[in-house]
Amino acid sequence: MDLGLSNRVALVCGASRGIGFAVAEELAREGAQIAICARDANAVAAATARLAKTGAKILPIIADLSTTEGTATAAAKALEHYGRVDVLVTNTGGPTPGPSLSHDWAAWTRASELLLRSAVELTRSLVPGMQQRKWGRVIGITSIAVKKPVPSLVLSNSLRAAVTGYYRTLADEVGIDGVTVNTVLPGYVATERLEELAAATTKRTGATHESIFESYRTGTPVGRVGAPEEIAAVVAFLASERASFVTGQAILADGGRSGTLL
């Protein structure tokens, strides 16, 4: 299937590692020109070098997307370099784990800035240009938490729902301009984030690393955790020309783990 991504310009956020990196690599292999963004200069440089092996044009951007300055920098640099952004993939690291009564309002604010503000501000900067050009794709990386709250991850469970509400509303408003808006909901995926969550569970409950990963595997119908590339493939399809009639959707890529009917 030709995804029609050749020479499209994609800004992939949180792309120095994990799911974001895999998305950037998949889109680069499909012929897109890529801007990647993350906070750490060394990590961004290393990711850029790996992505350059695809032969695609890669623009590295260093920015903290939990700040207004960071989102403005990411959008401005991508536009300055490529002249447009056709595909926006919003993604950052996940918030601090913890149960419902554990976080003070400062922690809620930090998590909102990381997950919700980053998505809203990047989208507000880049979608008007997509509307003018009558073509665009916005894909937000959220979480299985949107379908089924994850124990001891109240910040994620709450704020992913807010991001989903924002994007579902936007989809209705910009579809007429050829812009589709969807979210992708990963289940348990083998990244550094998952290792960090397992370490937090060990600290909280004393469970071993092996038993935690065993529960990730056995609770997932396909019997394993996912690979970042398996999320990236779904994102690439949603970014493609071929997905032009898919909008306003929250697409699970979780190996069946959510167990929901819809």
Q: For residues 71 and 63, is the Cβ–Cβ distance under 8 A?
A: yes
CB of 133 to ligand NAD, least distance (A): 26
CB of 45 to ligand NAD, least distance (A): 12
> Which residue's CB is nearer to ligand NAD, number 5 or number 155?
155
Our finding on whether 64 is near ligand NAD (CB under 6 A) is yes
Give the number of residues in contact with ligand NAD, rule: CB under 6 A. 29
Pairing relation of β-strands 250-253 and 33-38?
Answer: unpaired
> Which residue's CB is nearer to ligand NAD, number 30 or number 254?
254
In the range 1-20, which residues lie near ligand NAD by CB under 6 A? Answer: 14-20
In the range 97-156, which residues lie near ligand NAD by CB under 6 A? Answer: 114, 141, 143-144
Our finding on whether 91 is near ligand NAD (CB under 6 A) is yes
Which chain residues interact with ligand NAD by CB under 6 A? 14-20, 38-40, 43, 64-66, 91-94, 114, 141, 143-144, 186, 188-189, 191-194
